[in-house]
Amino acid sequence: MLRRLLVASLLFGLAGCAPEGFVASEADLATYAGWTRFDRGDQPVGPEHPAGGSVVYVSRLPVHGATAFAEGTMIVRITAGASPDPTTWEVHAMAKRGGDYNAAGARGWEFFDLELEPSADGSYRPHIEWRGESPPEGNGYEAPDGGGVELSCNHCHGAAVQNDSVLGPELDLTTF
């Protein structure tokens, strides 16, 4: 059954007509270094994402007057933290699949946890640790007040309805 589902989703992906819209591949995400880049410097943003130098990359900027990000838009957020070793950095992404995907949360968006892995040419390429509407169990965010409560990505992003579930000030839709 699982196998059949995998084959079906692969075929849909190849045909470019997946019912869930745009399905980002690792190859798509690997182009992030060439996207529009916002370097926010050191930012103590906890308890959301860990403190440290954070950088956001966007594959496609919204057009003037848009009330949502276009389907196919990918956003990668990196916190370099204290270590110069990219394999230790926190790398998250979201990609706009569109339609009814994640309808109960950050509508239209798929979330990713990425690891940067060294490749033969000396660059670091993102590997998808997990993807989906929310993190698999054990991969969510610990609530700041503890208690072992895990926050899904949707907890914060899904609440930002007025800005299409995107929270950073540099991607405020009213500023484009």
Please say which residue, 96 or 113, places its beta carbon nearer to ligand HEC. Answer: 113
Q: Examine residue 151 and tell whether it contacts ligand HEC (CB under 6 A).
A: yes
**Alpha-carbon distance 171 to 47, whole Å?**
20
Site string for ligand HEC, 48-87 (x = CB under 6 A): xx----x-x------------------x-x----------
| Range 115-144, binding ligand HEC (CB under 6 A) | 135, 141
Buried/exposed 44-61: b ≥16 CB within 10 Å, e otherwise: eeeeebeebebbbbbbee
How close are the terminal C-alpha atoms of the chain, in Å? 46
* One residue of 24, 69, 78, 92 binding ligand HEC per CB under 6 A: 92
Our measurement of the distance from residue 39's CA atom to the centroid of its chain's CA atoms, rounded to an integer in Å, reads 17
Stretch that binds ligand HEC, among 18-26, 43-51, 97-105, 116-124 (CB under 6 A): 43-51
Neighbours of 154 (CB within 10 A): 20
Radius of gyration (C-alpha) of the chain in whole angstroms: 16
Please say which residue, 34 or 122, places its beta carbon nearer to ligand HEC. Answer: 34
Q: Examine residue 167 and tell whether it contacts ligand HEC (CB under 6 A).
A: yes
Q: Is the peptide bond before 136 cis (omega within 30 degrees of 0)?
A: no
Please say which residue, 18 or 93, places its beta carbon nearer to ligand HEC. Answer: 93
In contact, 21 and 107? CB cutoff 8 Å: no
In contact, 160 and 166? CB cutoff 8 Å: yes
Q: Examine residue 100 and tell whether it contacts ligand HEC (CB under 6 A).
A: no
Stretch that binds ligand HEC, among 17-25, 29-37, 91-99, 118-126 (CB under 6 A): 91-99
Neighbours of 64 (CB within 10 A): 8
User: Under the rule (CB under 6 A), what is the footprint of ligand HEC?
Assistant: 45, 47-49, 54, 56, 75, 77, 92-94, 111, 113, 135, 141, 151, 153, 155-157, 166-168, 171
